[in-house]
Structure 1
Amino acid sequence: MTEEEWKKEAVQLIKAELARSGVDYKELVRRLAEIGVTETYQSVANKINRGAFPFFFFLQCMKALGVDTVRLGR
């Protein structure tokens, strides 16, 4: 896969977890703050839509969403 394809996969994965949780970016920012992670709505939107975010941000999002297991691949 190309780098762009990897980014697209990352975006799809995090957006799928947001959808499963019924959480939008605004709520994600609030939940991140609850676990001590300071992000703005715009920074979250930029990171996710760009598909270029550090793995620790992905882990923080999963923790904020209460996701313990992420399935990769199809």
Structure 2
Amino acid sequence: MAEKTDWEALAANLLKAELKRKGVTYAQLVERLAEIGVAEKEVNVRNKLSRGKFTAAFFLQCLSAISCATLRLEDV
């Protein structure tokens, strides 16, 4: 299995941090994604975040689904 790059790890960590800040579980994220028309399974979301392999579109869909209007990058 390929190693995560620093950028993939950063993207996954940013998304996980926003989920934590919002108090949203993976199951809740799947429900919220469904509400905006994005069909995902919890296991797939968990795997994407674990691997750090997902598209920019998925990243933005997740942020939109959890109502994240701003993303702090200055600490990275």
Q: Calculate the TM-score normalised by the size of structure 1.
A: 0.91
Give the unaligned 5+ runs of structure 1. none
Aligned match of 2:38: 37
When the two structures are superposed, what TM-score results if normalisation uses the length of structure 2?
A: 0.88
Using the TM superposition, give the Cα deviation of residue 16 of structure 1 relative to its aligned residue in structure 2, in angstroms: 0.3
* C-alpha distance after superposition, 1:34-73 (max 9, x if no partner): 1110000111111111111000000000010000111224
Runs of 4+ in 1 over 4 A off after TM superposition: none
The residue that corresponds to 2:5 in the other structure is 4
Distance 2:74 2:54 in 1: 19
Work out the number of aligned pairs and report it: 72
> Kindly, what percent of the aligned residue pairs are identical?
50
After superposition, residues 1-74 of structure 1 pair within 5 angstroms as 4-74=5-75
Root-mean-square deviation (CA, aligned residues, Å) is: 1.1
Work out the CA distance in 2 between the residues paired with 1:35 and 1:6: 27
